[in-house]
Chains A and B, each alone.
Chain A
Amino acid sequence: IQLTQSPSSLSASVGDRVTITCRASQGISSYLAWYQQKPGKAPKLLIYAASTLQSGVPSRFSGSGSGTDFTLTISSLQPEDFATYYCQQLNSYPFHFGQGTKLEIK
């Protein structure tokens, strides 16, 4: 199962609402996770089961979707949110990641 994220990169301003899309090559039910990664750091789990917020993650992050189409939304961008975001499918092996979306400051 391949995952395609769009866009690959995105420029936005603090306070903007941002949406990142992840499309699976076949249905994966809700077995999708979202991660945030900052340069030189390990990824951080944001969302699991497509829409469940990981403990400690700010509520401005939300996830939706099922089947093949998923979205990660940041309702109001904060300076610390500028990073690269990855989706990952956990429906079947191999547990592929999307290619990533780099979120940059406009």
Chain B
Amino acid sequence: EVQLVESGGGLVQPGGSLRLSCAASGFTVSSNYMSWVRQAPGKGLEWVSVIYSGGSTYYADSVKGRFTISRDNSKNTLYLQMNSLRAEDTAVYYCARAARYYDILTGFDYWGQGTLVTVSS
């Protein structure tokens, strides 16, 4: 059974850092395309970042240069390192596995339960 479990959220001051983890089971993270999506309280979904099986990474403009997506193949875990955090980064952060047709990403078919990040002084 495919499962994604996020952890690492919490309260952090503006300008601080936090690392989110997403432990996967039932599939191999390194063989899949993985993404982070966030949702501010009461707001819509915002795509944050993707990492491809080959290691290529892409980011939303709002987090570029501040966030880094990575994975640990030995732990089958996805990460999101978040630096220089701002109040507008406050959100529930979801990790998600991408569905794909050959090499084309077609959507996100498995999601974690989300972890809340609150940026406030």
Q: Chain A residues in contact with chain B, CB under 8 A?
A: 31, 33, 35, 37, 42-45, 48-49, 52, 54, 86, 88, 90, 93-100
Tell me which residues across on chain B come within 8 A of A93, comparing CB atoms. 50, 58
Assess the A54–B107 pair: CB atoms within 8 A: yes
Asked if A90 meets B107 with Cβ closer than 8 Å, knowing A45-B99, A95-B47, A100-B45, the reply is yes
Interface residues of B in 77-121 (CB under 8 A from A): 94, 96, 99, 101, 104-109, 111-114
Interface size on B, residues (CB 8 A): 25
Tell me which residues across on chain B come within 8 A of A52, comparing CB atoms. 106
Interface of A is mostly: loop
The residue in chain A whose Cβ has the minimal distance to the Cβ of B105 is A90
Tell me which residues across on chain A come within 8 A of B111, comparing CB atoms. 42-44
Complex A-B: 20 CB contacts under 8 Å? A35-B107, A37-B45, A42-B94, A42-B96, A43-B45, A45-B99, A45-B107, A48-B106, A49-B106, A54-B99, A54-B107, A88-B47, A88-B107, A90-B104, A90-B106, A95-B50, A95-B105, A96-B47, A97-B47, A100-B45
